Amino acid sequence: MRGKKPDHGRGTALAETPEADGLQIKGRLWLEKNGEVYLSWGRVVLLEKIRELGSISAAARSMGMAYSHAWKLVASMDRLAGEKLVERTFGGRQGGRAWLTPAGEAAIQEFWDLVAKFREWLEAQAV
């Protein structure tokens, strides 16, 4: 999918200062481990969509993302976390399904907790 990414309810900037004289500071937050992106807004939304839709492929479709890309992101997050964030069963008559592990749920919560702190900090900054 080319062009602007869909808005998944979180907006593009995770935090911003109040506008002053037409100026704002905006910011995004992501976590890296050993120089690799571990969690970011898009990755966490992917986890939330997997939780909501019960499928990596449905989550990817809802975000305008290729299944192979979504699967690579999940595999990368699992590897960097050192444990599975997403469990899944494979096809069959009813098709496969996916769900978050307790570690996956905790990763989502920890990310949004950090975002809340980041927003508080950024909103306190003056332009």
Average pLDDT over residues 101-105: 98
Q: Categorize the per-residue pLDDT at 124 as very low, low, confident or very high, splitting at 50, 70 and 90.
A: confident
- Is 105 inside any structural domain? yes
- Give mean pLDDT, residues 9-30: 75
CATH number at residue 109: 1.10.10.10
Distance CA 105, CA 40 (A): 14
What is the pTM for the complete model shown?
0.82
In a domain, 28, yes or no: no
In a domain, 80, yes or no: yes
Residue 63 domain-assigned (yes or no)? yes
Residue 1 has pLDDT above 80, yes or no: no
**Is residue 17 within 8 Å of residue 125, measured between CB atoms?**
yes
What would the mean pLDDT of 54-81 be, rounded to a whole number?
96
The mean pLDDT value of the chain amounts to 87
Decide if 8 is inside a domain: no
Question: Over pLDDT 70: what percentage of the chain?
Answer: 86
Distances (CA, A) of 70 to 4, 15, 46, 115, 118: 18, 25, 8, 22, 26
Q: Is residue 19 part of a domain?
A: no
| Cα atoms in the 13 Å half-sphere on the side-chain side of 43 | 28
Counted domains in the chain: 1
Residue pair 59/49 in contact (Cβ under 8 Å)? The answer is yes
Q: Kind and range of the H or E element at 100?
A: strand 97-100
Rounded to whole angstroms, the Cα distance separating 123 from 63 reads 29
- Residue 7 domain flag: no
Task: Evaluate whether residue 29 is within a structural domain.
Answer: no
Query: What is the token pair recorded at 28?
Result: 């995004």
Q: What is the pLDDT, as a whole number, of residue 35?
A: 95
CA distance 20 to 29: 23
- Domain carrying residue 71: 37-123
